[in-house]
Amino acid sequence: YHRGYQTALSNMVEMQSNSFRAEDVVFNFDRPEARQELKVGDRFSVGFISESGSDSRLTSEQPRDPSDSRVNVRAFVVTDSITDATSASLHYKDPNALALGFSESDRTRMDRGLVKSNLQNPYAAFAATDGYASIIETPGFGGTVRVAGFFGHEGGRQKADARNFGSQAELAYKLDSSSKISLAFGALFENGSVLGTVGSGAFKLGNGTMTMYSGIGGSYQLDAKTTLRGAMYAGWTKPSLANDSLITGMSNLITTAFNMGIERRELAQKGDVFSFSVAQPLRVENGSMQFNLPYARDDVSDVVYSTNLTQDMGSKGREIDLEAVYAFPVEDDTSLSFGGVYRHDAGHVAGKEDVLGVLRVTRKF
């Protein structure tokens, strides 16, 4: 009709606060993924996780045909022990490997966790969740140096939407035979997104968003059965904008994340393990975004009037996750695990709360 109109832009925004999904927590809780390992000689090995046959997940997702005998490699790691102290590895879909202070012995602890993403490096996960990472580990500077490069995209995102890559350097020092501290510095480069946020059309984002981040973490053995662990991350992001977008400006963003916990073995009986943790997922501490939005149109001169608006990008809430897990053997072939997580200000939305409890019984036969 050649006249102006109004529309709610909120209808064009899809909220995805983080990767937490209750069905994933239930399905993956204390369910170690069978990692098969093949050794080639004394120094070269290949570890991979494969899936075949039907999907046992009890959800509405379409299961695989039980007659489908194809085997798909879902994740893998290739390791070459160059010397007794130096190794090189290639990882596929293995974001845990870039967590601060990670070692292969941590995989069991990560399997047992409820919100597994809280234990990952939140910045490297933007590329390594569904991508590749190469890591070289060698002695240096009086400790152990790990240098990594990674590229890929977030899980669930189309490859064309995000071609992210980055690098990370980590230095770890042993405090004693069972305790250590780690320092890390890294850079993440995103194309078409800002910390996982994607825009298209009139809200298109530019290519080349850069995030510089650092982290400090460690583990401390209180006694033979009790271990304290923790890690803190902070990042500085310089967003990249598109020329033909209604988004005309975005300030630099400051982000933080942390996790800390305690693990106690043989708390009540032999073979049991209890863990309690507190974590904050990646959160934007401050920042703003500027828009140039049309608000009226002159049907005589065909002029569109617009105005500049500023939107605060800092999170209104601060998500804090409290998580507790207890696992113990019932018999030689049966074990029981139960746990719960409470999410305060879930998704960094003030006043939103989530509570979830999970029970798993495992019997080998």
Q: What's the pLDDT score for residue 30?
A: 79
Residue 12 DSSP class: G
308 forms bridges with which residues in the sheet?
A: 292
What the block records as the tokens of 94 is: 């293995």
User: Torsion over CA of 105, 107, 111 and 113, rounded to 10 degrees?
Assistant: 80
Phi/psi of residue 348, nearest 5 degrees: 60, 30
pLDDT in 10s for each residue of the chain, 365 residues:
666 777 887 777 776 655 678 888 888 887 776 677 788 878 888 887 876 544 555 544 555 555 555 556 678 889 998 888 899 999 998 888 999 988 877 888 888 889 988 999 999 999 988 899 999 999 999 999 999 999 998 655 554 555 799 999 999 999 888 899 999 999 999 988 899 888 888 888 988 899 999 999 999 999 989 999 999 999 999 999 998 889 999 999 999 999 999 999 999 999 999 999 999 999 999 999 999 988 888 877 778 888 999 989 888 899 999 999 999 999 888 999 999 999 999 989 899 999 999 999 988 88
Pairing mode, strands 36-40 and 353-363: unpaired
What the block records as the tokens of 310 is: 């500023």
99, 184 in Cβ contact below 8 A?
A: no
Enter the pTM of the model.
Answer: 0.86
